[in-house]
Amino acid sequence: MEIKKKYVEILKQQIEKAYDIQHEKIVEISNMFGQCMSNFGVVQLFGIDHDEEFVNELNYRAGGIAPFHALKIKDLTLRGGVKVADVESGRIYLPENVAKTADALMGLYELDDRDMYVLVSTKGNDPLVLELAKRVKANNQKLVAVVNKASYDACGGTLLDYADIWLDMCSPEPDVALDLAGVKVGQTSSTVANVIAQMLTAETYRYFIEKEGKAPVLFSANIKGADVHNNALTDPYGRRVR
């Protein structure tokens, strides 16, 4: 089979699998999102490197739900006084440094006890993600974990120990879909994760319509008049979102 076609077919199978084995959990998590947001809570999102793709898929997105907010490593360097070299060398992620990094990161934002968290970690073993998970649970806040279970099991992840509920990216470990006579290429995990994020958006929308008759849906910023509509949704939260 032509290689692009083969990639597409494998990706579609993984998306179908992600839906089949998890659609009930997707509904349950979306209901948690909706309940949190109805109580004027924000769903806080965090992931590192490729795991940030899932975060971006829920955070301030066209056709997305407004009260999400992302904690971003880039903010540490742009606003938090952390040196770029300490991010690039991975120093901020070392187990002995993650408490300090978590302090700096969480200190940048207006976090609230009404918020809940989604932590994304393909392998479920990032020390910084685990540090955040411990803090979220110590503060009795709800925690959703998103992992790639095959990678999680292979790499000794522990994130699920802290999670109230979790989702699987349904991709293989290592995350390569194609084999060109021994050469492995073609990652799928982040794209499946993005589809999961959009399914969560759809179900959170459904929650709002059922409970409140309307939903806080953002418009694309590249459509005329979108700014006014979007600002009306986010302004009540002040610095808690955006």
Q: Which residues bind other proteins (CB under 8 A)?
A: 2-5, 7-8, 11-12, 15-16, 19, 23, 26-27, 30, 49-50, 52-53, 56-57, 61-64, 74, 77-79, 84, 174-176, 178, 180-181, 183-188, 190-191, 194-195, 198-203, 205-206, 209, 214-215, 217, 219-224
Omega before residue 216 within 30° of 0, cis: no
Residue 127 or 186 having the CB closest to other proteins: 186
Residue 114 or 229 having the CB closest to other proteins: 229
Residues 6+ apart with CB under 8 A from 157: 121, 123, 124, 125, 147, 151
Q: Least separation, in Å, of the C-beta of 193 and other proteins?
A: 10
Query: Cα–Cα distance between 19 and 121 in angstroms, integer?
Result: 19
Three-state SS for 92?
Answer: helix
Q: Least separation, in Å, of the C-beta of 160 and other proteins?
A: 22
Residue 99 or 226 having the CB closest to other proteins: 226
Q: Least separation, in Å, of the C-beta of 189 and other proteins?
A: 9
* CB 84 within 8 Å of CB 110: no
Residue 117 or 205 having the CB closest to other proteins: 205
Q: Least separation, in Å, of the C-beta of 236 and other proteins?
A: 18
Residue 97 or 194 having the CB closest to other proteins: 194
Query: Cα–Cα distance between 56 and 119 in angstroms, integer?
Result: 12
At 64, give phi and psi (nearest 5°): -100, 175
Q: Least separation, in Å, of the C-beta of 168 and other proteins?
A: 15
Query: Cα–Cα distance between 95 and 91 in angstroms, integer?
Result: 9
Cα-to-chain-centroid distance, residue 124: 13
